[in-house]
Amino acid sequence: MKCAFCQPGGYAKLTEKHLHDSFCAMSQQMYSLRMRASRYEKHISGAERLLCFSELEDAASRMLARALDHPRGQAKKIKLSLLPVTPSTIKSGPLLDLSTLRVDNWQEGRQRACALLVATGVAPGVADQALEQLAKGPALDGGVMRGAMLVNAITGERLESDRVRGVRVSRMDIDPSKRLNIETFLEQKSLHNSRIIEAWILASKVAFYPEIIAELCWSDDPDYVTGYVASAHNGYQRITHLKQAGDEIGGRIFFLRPGVDLDPLVEQLQYEPILFGPPASGCF
């Protein structure tokens, strides 16, 4: 089936774009578009989208621009990958409620993060230990990992099979037919930037799985000090300071209920495609 709005000439009006996007999500082949920029062994930046064909060119060129200009330095290699994703395999879910906790410094931020984790059911000692592990570098050599740590929320046991790679969440985006609403909301809150949107989507995918109680994240980008605690219960709670500016250590921890069957969960986190709409509460 062909979409009339995919023809040359672009979108005449926002309402037409809106219709076009709905049409794409319902009926068209979707694509997983991913970008990875690196310099020798060093990861510089990554990004990914779940899009229909007509959106690919614009998204790819934005990714390229981003790969070419990153605070972690110049990339030597930029890889763009494109894979088809059959619409009937794509699940849908709500974004988490979004809130921002303003704190004066990273010490206060970490205390608040710890309390938020405990409020979701993570054992207090486990929350403390997790913050410590992330701060000193969660990989075996004390550096950053390539994905997230998996931690038993009650015993603190590390569960990922590879403690350098961890688990990377993939195949998620905002439902094209809902994008306009969500972007307008973020613009009104002065939160419309790719980093916030991508982290919000990723956190919403993680919270989609009931096996995961909560997530803790702060970036390894030296100039980005905001992090978050996220959970299905309390939403995506941004915390304005979780580390010192200039620090290149960051990471993600997914806190799991005890007794989870790991293999299917990891498979879903990595490969199950999901498109997200506005939060279930109806208010952002």
Among 108, 128, 198, 211, contact with ligand COA (rule: CB under 6 A): 198
34 makes contact, choosing from ligand AMP, ligand COA, none, with CB < 5 to 8 Å by partner type, with ligand COA
Give residues 140-179 in contact with ligand COA (rule: CB under 6 A): 146, 165, 168
Q: What part of residues 136-155 is at the interface with ligand AMP (CB under 6 A)?
A: 144-145, 147-148
When CB distances are held under 5 to 8 angstroms depending on the partner's kind, the choice from ligand COA, ligand AMP, none that residue 131 binds is none
Q: Which residue in the set 51, 95, 174, 202 belongs to the binding site for ligand COA (CB under 6 A)?
A: 202
**Minimum Å distance from CB 201 to ligand AMP?**
10
In angstroms, give the least distance from the CB of 111 to ligand AMP: 21
Distance CA 204, CA 266 (A): 15
**Is the Cβ of residue 30 or residue 145 nearer to ligand AMP in the bound state?**
145
Token pair listed for 222: 């030296």
* 81 is a site residue for ligand COA (CB under 6 A): yes
Report if residue 62 touches ligand COA, rule: CB under 6 A. no
81 binds, among ligand AMP, ligand COA, none (CB under 5 to 8 A by kind): ligand COA
Per-residue binding string, ligand AMP, 250-279, x by CB under 6 A, is xxx---------------------------
* Residue from the set 199, 239, 242, 249 that interacts with ligand COA by CB under 6 A: 199
Q: For binding to ligand AMP (CB under 6 A), which residues are involved?
A: 144-145, 147-148, 168-170, 202, 219-221, 250-252
